[in-house]
Structure 1
């Protein structure tokens, strides 16, 4: 069985939900969830450049295109003898922003704020001390995070540490979620 998501940076995290369902219902012993993305396509780069979204000397509110792949092997039980888990992953919070970049609806900040709220609901170890974010240098994402932060500040530590690895390897699109995990 395989499943595909074309939801950009959210794709790898979005696919965790059905993966957890397969594991919880014991439909599968293990599930591989991943994301692969590249901005090598000249057509896509051309459109992004025309929109002024590709970081350049004259474009400061843009992102550095990257390419990457990240995969997570998930299991609720030991797969190989003597294997040990290196992390425990809980179900992601998901949200839908009606006023996204290409929408005619106004941006209200509900998507990411709802996703953060759902992710931290009932989570042990609150307040959250570190956030790994997909901030890529574009102000739109920073605005989204600002709204999500304000609406969820009670779940976030006052000395919150923000990590946004895209400043090191560029925006890797659908690979972002699995790579950050």
Structure 2
């Protein structure tokens, strides 16, 4: 086997797994590529039709049979166990003695629980259930819980890459989970007029997903004779003072900063083609910010020829899980050879003004044999 050379400044993306409205990762990526969508009525979450004044169900992207009948903690357990099983199918040999765990969850995790639990209590209960259900037994000191929405997921990736480079660990497992389809999550979003409804077409459709990725140093992966799915650069971050939470329309300055720095870091600022993964979801302020970003970035980088992908079109808004979902979709596009160019840039915009760019590089030797009857 010809080994893939390490790209300086990167870590290896060695395994991936997911639980989404379109299934596990391989099936989900193929379905999204084919334009398949499984949005359905959220019967337990009605909204009022502005014209008829009647209650109608919201439309959202649920994980179907996997989460039907489950709510609260049980729903999260179902999603996380499925994603971990999907990851372990391609990474059976997790080295738990040198493995760091990062669990990323939304900060409003305790909404609607009875008796009321804090987000921290639910996170701890989730860890215990995952250990029970999967048989995985991470060391207590190796478990890191982040309750910071998208920004927490990016921070987990950044901390993972730092710990790997400094040889504090050999592997890092980042698990991001979110579900916005239950009534306790949809009600405040409806009140804030953020969801797509018959009389409000510029909102988002709620979704749910858990995504797991295993990151490693290139040397430990090469010792096992394996090649990574992609080379991952350290995240680039910035803060946008004008953001949703500040009730000020963002002007794209922070996104241009992370876009430019991420391209320069990967030496991709002059490349005529590549792939952009955007977390646009139907909300007007996000679309306006991206338009401002494109205008401001014209003189600093060549992204006019880069292809753009919007995962929310296929999966709905997946919140905390969205950065890792985009990362895995980009890696699958490399593997199946339908990605444009040799780099994929994932842009992340949080309601709190957190902006981030994650750059993936293609592993040039990696090729999967295409088969006309294969769904992969």
TM superposition score normalised by structure 2: 0.45
Is 2:312 the counterpart of 1:171? no
Partner of residue 26 from structure 1, selected from 143, 167, 187: 167
Are residues 98 and 5 of structure 1, via their aligned partners in 2, closer, same or farther at CA, if it must alter by over 3 Å?
A: farther
User: How far has the Cα of 1:139 moved from its partner?
Assistant: 1.2
Is 2:143 the counterpart of 1:2? yes
Q: Which residue is equivalent to 2:369?
A: none
Query: Where does the alignment leave 5 or more consecutive residues of structure 2 unmatched?
Result: 1-141, 328-376
Q: Which residue is equivalent to 1:124?
A: 267
Q: Which residue is equivalent to 2:241?
A: 98
Please give the alpha-carbon distance, in whole angstroms, between the structure 2 residues aligned to 1:106 and 1:136: 16
User: How far has the Cα of 1:147 moved from its partner?
Assistant: 2.3
Please give the alpha-carbon distance, in whole angstroms, between the structure 2 residues aligned to 1:7 and 1:70: 16
User: How far has the Cα of 1:23 moved from its partner?
Assistant: 0.6
Q: Which residue is equivalent to 2:30?
A: none
Are the equivalent residues in 1 in contact too, given 2:250–2:285 (CA < 8 A)?
Answer: no
Partner of residue 215 from structure 2, selected from 55, 74, 96: 74
Are the equivalent residues in 2 in contact too, given 1:95–1:110 (CA < 8 A)?
Answer: no
Are residues 123 and 180 of structure 1, via their aligned partners in 2, closer, same or farther at CA, if it must alter by over 3 Å?
A: same
Partner of residue 290 from structure 2, selected from 113, 138, 145: 145
Q: Which residue is equivalent to 2:230?
A: 87
RMSD (Å) for aligned C-alpha atoms: 2.0
Q: Which residue is equivalent to 2:24?
A: none
Are the equivalent residues in 2 in contact too, given 1:37–1:67 (CA < 8 A)?
Answer: yes
Q: What secondary structure does 1:157 align onto? A: coil
Q: Which residue is equivalent to 2:307?
A: 161
Are the equivalent residues in 1 in contact too, given 2:164–2:216 (CA < 8 A)?
Answer: yes
- Which structure has the larger Rg over C-alpha atoms? 2
Deviations 1:7-39 (A, max 9, x none): 323432232111111011100001112311111
User: How far has the Cα of 1:151 moved from its partner?
Assistant: 2.5
Q: What secondary structure does 1:124 align onto? A: coil
User: How far has the Cα of 1:106 moved from its partner?
Assistant: 5.8
Please give the alpha-carbon distance, in whole angstroms, between the structure 1 residues aligned to 2:181 and 2:247: 28
User: How far has the Cα of 1:52 moved from its partner?
Assistant: 1.3
Is 2:276 the counterpart of 1:134? no
The structure with the greater share of residues assigned to strand is 2
- Number of residue equivalences: 181
Please give the alpha-carbon distance, in whole angstroms, between the structure 1 residues aligned to 2:244 and 2:308: 23
Are residues 96 and 161 of structure 1, via their aligned partners in 2, closer, same or farther at CA, if it must alter by over 3 Å?
A: same
Are the equivalent residues in 2 in contact too, given 1:93–1:117 (CA < 8 A)?
Answer: no
User: How far has the Cα of 1:104 moved from its partner?
Assistant: 4.6
Are residues 147 and 3 of structure 1, via their aligned partners in 2, closer, same or farther at CA, if it must alter by over 3 Å?
A: farther
Are the equivalent residues in 2 in contact too, given 1:8–1:173 (CA < 8 A)?
Answer: yes
Partner of residue 44 from structure 1, selected from 185, 191, 210: 185
Q: What secondary structure does 1:72 align onto? A: strand
Are residues 95 and 5 of structure 1, via their aligned partners in 2, closer, same or farther at CA, if it must alter by over 3 Å?
A: farther
- Structure scoring higher RCO (CA < 8 A, sep ≥ 6) equals 1
Are the equivalent residues in 2 in contact too, given 1:55–1:62 (CA < 8 A)?
Answer: yes
